[in-house]
Amino acid sequence: MDVSPVFPYLKWGTPLGYVFYLGFYVLMFVMLILFVKVIDRSSLREIGLRKASRWKLCLILGALFAFLARFSEIFIYLILGGTIRLEEYSPPFMIIFFIMDTLMVGLAEEGVFRGYIQRHLTHNHGFITGLLVSSSLFHAYHVNFFRATFSDVALTILLGPFIPSFGMFAGYLYYKTRENLLGPVTLHMFYDLFGTIVPLGVETGSLPTGSVSLLRILQWSMMLFAVKILADRKDIT
């Protein structure tokens, strides 16, 4: 969610912006708790906020795939003609905000889209339906509707469920870890954290968007395949 086109002083990357997003995702997580506790009369353990028997492996896999995703994105931009850009390091107090924000983003979004929506759909309509619908909603949630064109929204609705992406990968990791949120939350947190505090970027300029999109699809497809192979060969929960 990006409100900066309407409220530029709430842009992600500014102190006020981090305070706003921290409050927003705390509220989102509180709403999740209310839905689970009051409407479903269930518990956060049921949606996946519980300690796995191999919790250290879940943490390692989440962090590893997050860094792999970020570095492969940089590699894609570089092979298409982008150039490395070094940023300034953020001050320590801002890094604390980064960590708090990314933790709450991971808990709230993964709890809602994977733990609540995907789990409910999977149990009632099957895994494929749960994965595709929750991934599509996750993708739609991240569309900047303040700037998106009608064709952007239409493509998101029509093609979003079938395109390998971060949301689909997180949902598949959730499923393969027996609906435990530890891996997806760690993945989400480190993916956002790496993109925020690591002073490394790429000047994309006028890179061909079609080629970028195709390579990103290939990137997430390979990562999905890697999780399947790993889960089939080894118990990762």
Altogether, the residues listed in the chain come to a count of 237
What predicted TM-score, i.e. pTM, was given to this entire model? 0.91
Place of tokens 């795939």: 65
Tokens of 122: 């999977």
Per-residue confidence (pLDDT) for residue 124, from 0 to 100: 96
Residue 9 lies in a domain: no
Q: Is residue 21 a part of any domain in this protein?
A: no
Q: According to the model, what pLDDT value does residue 68 have?
A: 94
pLDDT of residue 199: 67
Establish if 30 belongs to a structural domain: no
Residue 10 burial by CB count (10 A; 0-12/13-18/19+): exposed, middle or buried?
Answer: middle
**Rounded to an integer, what distance in angstroms lies between the CA atom of residue 135 and that of residue 161?**
6
Q: What is the pLDDT of residue 93?
A: 67
One-letter amino acid of 189:
M
CB contact at 8 A, 56 and 237: no
| Angle at CA of residue 102, ends 101 and 105, nearest 5° | 85
Residue 29 placed within a domain: no
How confident is the prediction along the chain (237 residues), in pLDDT tens digits per residue? 667 667 777 777 677 888 888 899 999 999 999 999 999 999 999 999 998 888 888 899 999 999 999 999 989 988 988 888 777 766 776 777 778 888 999 999 999 999 999 999 999 999 999 999 999 999 889 887 777 677 767 777 777 778 899 999 999 999 999 999 999 999 999 998 887 777 677 777 777 888 888 999 999 999 999 999 998 887 776
Q: Does 103 map to a domain?
A: yes
DSSP-derived secondary structure letter, 47: H
Nearest to 102 by CA among 5, 179, 198: 198
> Looking at the domain assignment, is residue 17 inside a domain?
no
* Distance (Å, whole) CA 214 – CA 196: 24
8-13: long-range contacts (C-beta < 8 A, 24 or more apart)?
Answer: 13/196
Query: CA dihedral defined by 39, 46, 176, 24, rounded to 10 degrees?
Result: 60
Does the residue 27 lie in any domain? no
Cβ 52 vs Cβ 182: under 8 Å: yes
Residue 57's domain comprises 45-233
In total, how many domains does the chain have?
Answer: 1
Q: Is residue 35 assigned to a domain?
A: no
For residue 69, how many other CB atoms are within 10 A of its CB?
20
Instruction: Write down the pLDDT at residue 206.
Output: 78
